[in-house]
Structure formats: structure tokens, C-alpha cells
């Protein structure tokens, strides 16, 4: 009888251990893992929304995020990656400040066996391996921006581009924009100048362009901060009636300017979706699931007509 009781107790204890083990595997597979994130900036609404998407999906899957912002400084971003390596994070998400120089930081993570995923901005470096890149389909978005500028100014006119060539997402937008306008012989691109995606710099660059080109008809700004900076300069010059603006992002502030007619339209992105897909990709990589090299996210357009047609448009 004593032997039977002992066996029963051993069996019960084994079952308890098995139960605890299963519970731990399911609940801590993500909880004990940390993802280091270095974003281009946290000053833009786009990246605030992207961060929200990252955090929401990470909470759902049980990952801890360490979120930093390089604020357009490649050296600062490299330091952030070094810190992630020292912290032994399980994966790193980057929105590179400079698509070419970021390779050194990516390679350092590779050498520490830490997978790297890029979001919104891709790496163009010949060194360093990125597991996958999640971003808007920016070439398609550039083409849509060209369609908007054609709607705004008609089949002929003179336009400028406020760019930020250091990052691939912008280069892709400009590529698509130029491709579409190449079929419009009566629309001339007078200049493409960098405002680095910043509102204050865009305002200054736009002031100079307005003085240099009194016959200017339109502006393609590669993000909403650039569009809003351009708007400030155009309004100050009293030329809002004859210079149309097309932006890129679809932030709430820009939407209000579109509704009022101050900005003609925007290509809209879905940063929260990009963030969620990025964490999902990290999870797949860490659990041994293959992911594609690029995961494009569709874009769309908005104008005053489309916004006013939808009550309470997001």
C-alpha cells in the first residue's frame, strides 16, 4: 500500500511539472524576449503612429520593446545599436537615418547573432544582412503623388520637389513621381532640393524656391512635415492661390489642411500597420519561420473631396 501511495505521489508530481512546463513555454516564449528599436525620429506623427503599431503588436505577442530615436543622426543610431548588442536583445528593428552608412551597425548586430529587420526605410549598404524590410510601396506612392499634382495643376506647369535623398523610402517616392511625370511633356520639374523631411527646413527651402521661380505652379513634398513647412512659406508669400501642394503620409494635421483646401492632397501610408507587420516578422524570424525579403504595404490618396465625402474620416 505504501509503494502504491509513493508511486501515486510521484506520478502526480510529474504531471504537475509537465503542466507547469507547458504553461511556461506558451507564456514566456515571447515575454522573455526583447526587441531593440531605433527609429529615424519621434518628432513626426508617422513615426509616433509606427511606434504605436510596434507596441500594440509586441504587447499582443508578449515581447518587450526598448524604443529609441536617432533624430536623423546616423552616429547616434550606431550607438543605439551598439547598446542593443551590449544588452543582448533578441532582435533589432531599424528605421535607418542613412540607408548607406547603416550597414556597419547592421553587420555588428549580425556578428552578435542578432537578427535585424528594417521598417519604413531600407538599407542600401553592401554589408550587413537584413532579414526582411517592411514599408509602404513607395514607388507606387510616388506615382500616385504625380497623379495628384496633375489633378491639381492640370496637364502643364512647373513644379519642384522637396526631397530627402539619404533615405530609401524617399528615393523610391521620387523615383515613382518622376516616372509618372515623364509621360507629361508639358510639366517641368524645375528643382529637387532636400529639406531633410523637416518642417522648418522645408519652409526655408520653399522661400528660396518661390523667389527663384515666380512662375511656380506646384510642389511635391515627400512627407507631411515638408508639406506643412512649404505651406507656411507659400502662405507667407501670398501665393497659395497659384501654387498647389501634394504631401505624403496622411497625418491628421495635414488632413485638416487638405479639408480646408490649403494642401491639395496626400498619399496616405498606414504606419500602425507597418509597425504591427514588423513585430509579426520579428516573431516569425525568432521562431524559425521564413519571411520574404520585402513586405510592401499598400498606399492610397486623399483630397478634400474624398475626405469630405467620409464623415469622421480617420
Residue 161 cell numbers, joined: 520637389
pLDDT at 30 over 50: no
- Residue 277 CA to residue 89 CA, distance in Å, equals 19
Q: What mean pLDDT do residues 98-120 have?
A: 97
Answer whether residue 307 shows pLDDT above 60. Answer: yes
The sheet with strand 116-119 has its strands ordered as: 64-69, 34-39, 91-94, 116-119, 132-136, 294-297
Domains observed in the chain? 30-135+271-296 (3.40.50.2300), 138-270+303-309 (3.40.50.2300)
Percent of the chain surpassing pLDDT 70: 89
- The mean pLDDT of the chain is 90
175-214 pLDDT tens trace: 999 999 999 999 999 999 999 999 999 999 999 999 999 9
Across the range 275-300, mean pLDDT stands at: 97
Grid cell in block for residue 45: 506623427
pLDDT at res. 1: 41
> Which three cell numbers, joined as nine digits, stand for 10?
510521484
pLDDT higher than threshold 50 for residue 7: no
pLDDT at 309: 78
What is the spatial distance between Cα 198 and Cα 192, in angstroms, rounded to a whole number? 15
Q: Taking the model in full, what pTM does it have?
A: 0.82
Where does residue 23 rank: exposed (0-12), middle (13-18), buried (19+ CB within 10 A)? exposed
Write the pLDDT tens digit of every residue in 128-137: 999 999 999 9
Which residue shows C-alpha cell 527663384? 212
Residue 48 CA neighbour count, 13 Å, CB half: 5
Q: How far apart are CA 208 and CA 66, in angstroms?
A: 40
> Can you tell me the distance from the alpha carbon of 218 to that of 161, in angstroms, rounded to the nearest whole number?
9
Residue-wise pLDDT for 50-97, tens only, equals 999 999 999 999 999 999 999 999 999 999 999 999 999 999 999 999
Which of residues 244 and 12 earns the better pLDDT score? 244
- Strand ranges inside the chain, DSSP E: 34-39, 64-69, 91-94, 116-119, 132-136, 157-163, 187-194, 218-221, 244-249, 265-268, 294-297, 300-303
Distance between CA atoms of 41 and 275, rounded to whole angstroms? Answer: 14
pLDDT band at residue 157, thresholds of 50, 70 and 90? very high
The pLDDT confidence band at residue 292, using thresholds 50, 70 and 90, is very high
Greater confidence (14 vs 175) lies with: 175
238 Rama class: left (phi>0) / alpha (psi -120 to 50) / beta? left
Amino acid at each position: 500500500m505504501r509503494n502504491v501511495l509513493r508511486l501515486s505521489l510521484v506520478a502526480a508530481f510529474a504531471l504537475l511539472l509537465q503542466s507547469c512546463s507547458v504553461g511556461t513555454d506558451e507564456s514566456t516564449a515571447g515575454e522573455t524576449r526583447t526587441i531593440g528599436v531605433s527609429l529615424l525620429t519621434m518628432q513626426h506623427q508617422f513615426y509616433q503612429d509606427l511606434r504605436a503599431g510596434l507596441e500594440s503588436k509586441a504587447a499582443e505577442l508578449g515581447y518587450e520593446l526598448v524604443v529609441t530615436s536617432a533624430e536623423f543622426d546616423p552616429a547616434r543610431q550606431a550607438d543605439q545599436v551598439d547598446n542593443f548588442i551590449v544588452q543582448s536583445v533578441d532582435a533589432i528593428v531599424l528605421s535607418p537615418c542613412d540607408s548607406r552608412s547603416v550597414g556597419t551597425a547592421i553587420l555588428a548586430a549580425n556578428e552578435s547573432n542578432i537578427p535585424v529587420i528594417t521598417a519604413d526605410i531600407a538599407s542600401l549598404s553592401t554589408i550587413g544582412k537584413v532579414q526582411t524590410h517592411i514599408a509602404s510601396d513607395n514607388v507606387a506612392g510616388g506615382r500616385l503623388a504625380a497623379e495628384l499634382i496633375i489633378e491639381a495643376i492640370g496637364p502643364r506647369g512647373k513644379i519642384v520637389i522637396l526631397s530627402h535623398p539619404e533615405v530609401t523610402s524617399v528615393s523610391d517616392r521620387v523615383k515613382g513621381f518622376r516616372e509618372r511625370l515623364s509621360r507629361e511633356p508639358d510639366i517641368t520639374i524645375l528643382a529637387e532640393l532636400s529639406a531633410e523631411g523637416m518642417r522648418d527646413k522645408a519652409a526655408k527651402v520653399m522661400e528660396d524656391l518661390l523667389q527663384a521661380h515666380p512662375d511656380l505652379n506646384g510642389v511635391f513634398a515627400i512627407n507631411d512635415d515638408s508639406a506643412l513647412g512649404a505651406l507656411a512659406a507659400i502662405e507667407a508669400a501670398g501665393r497659395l492661390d497659384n501654387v498647389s501642394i501634394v504631401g505624403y503620409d496622411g497625418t491628421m494635421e495635414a488632413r485638416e489642411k487638405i479639408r480646408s483646401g490649403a494642401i491639395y492632397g496626400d498619399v496616405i501610408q498606414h504606419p500602425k500597420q507597418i509597425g504591427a507587420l514588423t513585430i509579426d516578422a520579428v516573431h516569425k524570424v525568432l521562431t524559425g519561420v521564413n519571411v520574404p525579403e520585402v513586405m510592401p504595404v499598400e498606399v492610397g490618396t486623399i483630397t478634400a473631396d474624398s475626405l469630405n465625402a467620409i464623415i469622421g474620416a480617420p
